[in-house]
Amino acid sequence: MKFIVTGGRGFIGSHFVELVLKNGDTVIDIDKMTYASHLKLPWDDNKNYRHINKDICDIDHLESCDYLVNFAAESHVDNSINSSKVFLNSNVVGVHNLLELIRGKPAHSRPIFMQISTDEVYGDILQGEFKEEDRLLPSNPYSATKAAAEMLVLSYGRTYGIEYVISRSGNNYGSRQFEEKLISKSIECAKTGKDIPLHGDGSYVRDWTYVKDNVDGIHEIIKAGVVNEIFNVASGNYMTNLNVAKIILSWFDRPSSQIRFVENRWGQDTRYALDCSKLKSLGWSPLHPTGLFRWFDE
């Protein structure tokens, strides 16, 4: 199978590229090399891999492929609150450009468009879990741009007949994650003796999903050949931010006094939770469903 992957040198995208290359597939990776992209990766010399350094907003041609999997996105919520324009460009204008390029191809040669989205498009939920058909109510500019991208994908599916899949994943963690996200940042703080900053009182709940479980779920959808559907991808590993920080400090024999509570994020979501029964019906299940996996010990 031949993939065009956007953002394949970032965190989640790089794990997907690694997976499909191991499967013997071919990857054209379009990544504009932002601050969160990796200059070197172990498969750079793989004959089935090619990197194109370009912004998805500026692409004017798509090579033939079976799937276009769009990981390219600005993703840090705090950055979106401080300056949202770059999020609009990457997460909305970029997706529009990709859809237009697919629309311009003859119907028989169009790839399936897979949009990698987030559980944050739902907003928060105090009890229970969101299902794929539930309403979207994003709380911040980042999640709003991801929801807007989904609306574009759905509209192009209905109006132009473009085949698509949307995946919405929980909070990912694992190797190659940039140190602005909670777990990777907490590990770096614990290693260096710095305080771990937590918003509010640290009671906010997230579904912590190991990145390889996420990309396995995405790959399972592709293998099943499902189109024009939306899937939640998460592990059911609900933990507060405070518990996450305490667990990481314990790995390094550091005291909980190293946690520092800071001002709440504007528009803070209280709890994220996803019902993943639809994806599990395809035969997928997370391999790391509880606790936090110490990938740096591998």
* pLDDT of amino acid 291: 85
Quickly list DSSP for 93-131. Answer: IHHHHHHHHHHTS-GGGPPEEEEEEEGGGG---SSS-B-
pLDDT digits (tens, 9 = 90+) for 107-119: 999 999 999 999 9
Average pLDDT of 15-20? 98
pLDDT digits (tens, 9 = 90+) for 239-251: 999 999 999 999 9
pLDDT digits (tens, 9 = 90+) for 122-154: 999 999 999 999 999 999 999 999 999 999 999
CA distance 84 to 11: 21
Residue 295's pLDDT band (cuts 50, 70, 90): confident
Residue 35's pLDDT band (cuts 50, 70, 90): very high
Share of the chain above pLDDT 90, in %: 92
Residue 88's pLDDT band (cuts 50, 70, 90): very high
Average pLDDT of 49-61? 97
Q: Which two tokens stand for residue 156?
A: 């192009």
Tell me which residues are annotated as active site: 119-120, 142
Residue 78's pLDDT band (cuts 50, 70, 90): confident
pTM over 0.85: yes
The answer to whether the beta carbons of residues 72 and 87 sit under 8 Å apart is: no
Largest CA distance in the chain: 61
Residue 297's pLDDT band (cuts 50, 70, 90): low
CA distance 292 to 269: 21
* pLDDT of amino acid 148: 98
In 3D, which of 231, 202, 203, 206 has the Cα closest to residue 216?
Answer: 231
Average pLDDT of 42-50? 98
* pLDDT of amino acid 296: 66
CA distance 282 to 231: 11
**For the chain, what is the mean pLDDT?**
95
Correct CATH for 2-174+211-235+274-289 of 2.40.30.30, 3.40.50.10860, 3.40.50.2000, 3.40.50.720 = 3.40.50.720
* pLDDT of amino acid 251: 95
* pLDDT of amino acid 19: 98
**What Rg do the C-alpha atoms of the chain give, in angstroms?**
19
For residue 298, pLDDT over 70 is answered with no
Q: Where are the alpha helices (DSSP H) in 161-198?
A: 182-192
Q: What share of the chain is helix, strand, coil (3-state, %, to 5)?
A: 35, 20, 45
Residue 75's pLDDT band (cuts 50, 70, 90): confident
* pLDDT of amino acid 289: 87
Average pLDDT of 68-75? 94
pLDDT digits (tens, 9 = 90+) for 150-197: 999 999 999 999 999 999 999 999 999 999 899 999 999 999 999 999
